[in-house]
Structure 1
Amino acid sequence: MLTKDQTEFYVENGYLLVEDAVTPEQLGRMQEITHDFIERSRNVSQSNDVYDLDEGHGPENPRLTRIKLPHKQHPFFWDVLKNSRITEVLRQLVGPDAVLQTSKLNAKAPGGGAAVEWHQDWAFYPHTNDDMLAFGVFLEDVTEENGPLQVIPGSHKGPILSHNSAEGVFCGAVDPGDPDFRIEKAVKITGKAGSMSIHHARTLHGSAPNISDRARLMLFYECCAADAWPLMGGSAYIQRLSQQQQWDDLLDRMIIGDPVLQPRMKQLPVRLPYPPAADVSSIFKVQKSGGAKSAFG
């Protein structure tokens, strides 16, 4: 699906916008499912295993930051990842064997929906190699006003910046004053519903609050090559599982191809995400409870 120019752009810059990543029918079904989840959140008063609630959420005004693990909440989200143009892009950029790291549906509410402070995904879950990326499927049009994803081109080739607060706690965000954080190079990724952003796991990225009157609904799939095995960090839940449970978990997350039992080792910059913040239930809670400094004013 990707042209040679697109692939080369991604390799050089660490991000890419792909239009028409899903069919109109797939887009319509995902929108329908998502709005149904939002509607049902009216009866939820606290964040739980499905929802992360935003400030001001209530029965009359549902406001979400996130629907957690959408591929587990509804099978259609998993089917789209395994059987669509997204699947072919994954095959082109990662290879024939690929696994899902995690998924999330960020429902940035209108009128100030929460920002995601600047960070590198790699800081949360370093692996044995960095053939890792995140797809962001636009379920609605993304404009400059409703908090688009922003990236710093080429940052995936640079260092892993500290994501620890002044107190030494892992806060899941870089310090805006870090000299290696070149915010003046930031690019906003906007596009029509059905488009998809791609960013490398080491690419610096974030998103400002949503100042528009429309939600910014983006479905994220974070994926990696099957020979990229997790180190300590955000995937540490695996270490709490039995050997059989670890294997079953891996099989459940296979998107294309087969498991690879010989990890490919690559010399890479790594920082482990410790000591943890007080609340690690989502990136929003990590950044807030860890004392992250905002780059968005």
Structure 2
Amino acid sequence: MTEPLSPDDLATYHENGFLLVKNLISKQEARAMREECHALAARLNSDVDATWASARAIAGTPAARTALKHAHDTQFHSAAFARLLVDPRFTDVAAALLGGPNVQLHHTKMFIKPPETGSPFPLHQDHPFFPHAKHTVAAAVFHFDDAPEENGCIRAVPGSHRNGPLPHIEGGSWHLPPDTWRIQDAQACPAEAGDVLFFTYLTVHGSGLNTSSEARTTWLVQFRDPQDRPTADEHTWSLGQGMMLRGIDPSARRTDGTDEPR
């Protein structure tokens, strides 16, 4: 059986805290998933803008005109997302990065950065939103559009995960001090439709403003080792959390949001 990642890939991930996996799904599949995302946004018909208040406060951000469409728990809106969640092409890579056979879902989220006005994200770690005891939580960002730098691609700071949890500022959402953690100093991670960017929840990352004429459509999957448990109540529960994407849950915990054994 062919391993989903090479030793060099794994070394890069553990060294940098992130890894771009090219062509994990085909461009045709990415195009179909893009249509699912935009159709979902139209069905929800929500005026809620997911832009962080902290993003609007950063100097140089056109505060009045940026926007960001989003939806949580997408697999409960369309079966296409549910199928991709358990696709072995994804789950085998996730397991390889976790270093074990079992992969458990934390949550999913769709993001659409509109053309010319797509909101940025200040540099941050995901850790403050849902801290865990063993720090196994990681993210997979599926790109359903091409994401060059001008499209507001993700930026990450190589090796930042080795610093452990960092103190964050809460200003509409958790973020790092923008005067010392500047988005332009982080490494750009441009991607093409079908690519998936994986990173640990301790990796410092963010994204720039979408100044292009095309939308940037991505799908975020946060996953973990099932034996890693939350250490705080902040943002720790979401619809679908605890679903096994690969393997088993050796702890056999309840599925109602509690940590009590059965």
Decide: shared fold, TM above 0.5.
Answer: yes
Gaps spanning 5+ residues in structure 2: where? 53-66, 254-262
Code of the residue aligned with 2:219 in structure 1: it is L
Q: How far apart are residue 161 of structure 1 and its match?
A: 2.0
Root-mean-square deviation (CA, aligned residues, Å) is 2.6
Separation (CA, whole Å) in 2 of partners of 1:194 and 1:254? 23
Q: How many residues align?
A: 235
Provide the residue aligned with 1:269 in structure 2.
none
Provide the residue aligned with 1:60 in structure 2.
none
8 Å contact from structure 2 (residues 169, 175) kept in 1: yes
Provide the residue aligned with 2:207 in structure 1.
207
Deviating above 3 A after TM superposition, structure 1's stretches of 4 or more consecutive aligned residues are 38-41, 51-54, 181-185, 233-238, 248-251
Q: 2:248 aligns with which of 255, 258, 273?
A: 258
Provide the residue aligned with 1:143 in structure 2.
148
Separation (CA, whole Å) in 2 of partners of 1:144 and 1:182? 15
Separation (CA, whole Å) in 2 of partners of 1:141 and 1:249? 28
8 Å contact from structure 1 (residues 22, 195) kept in 2: yes
Provide the residue aligned with 1:46 in structure 2.
47
TM-score by length of 1: 0.72
SS at match of 2:147: coil
Q: Which has the higher contact order (CA 8 A, sep 6+)?
A: 2
- 1:118-166: CA deviation from partner (whole Å, max 9, x where unpaired): 110112111110122100111000101010000000000004222124x
Q: How far apart are residue 96 of structure 1 and its match?
A: 1.0
Gaps spanning 5+ residues in structure 1: where? 55-62, 239-247, 264-297
Provide the residue aligned with 1:106 in structure 2.
111
For residues 250 and 174 of structure 1, do their structure 2 counterparts lie closer, same or farther at Cα, with a shift above 3 Å needed? closer
Code of the residue aligned with 2:73 in structure 1: it is L
Provide the residue aligned with 2:129 in structure 1.
124
Provide the residue aligned with 1:97 in structure 2.
102
1:34-73 equivalence runs, <5 A: 34-41=37-44, 44=45, 46-47=47-48, 52=50, 64-73=68-77
Code of the residue aligned with 2:9 in structure 1: it is Q
TM-score by length of 2: 0.81
Provide the residue aligned with 1:216 in structure 2.
216
Provide the residue aligned with 2:60 in structure 1.
none
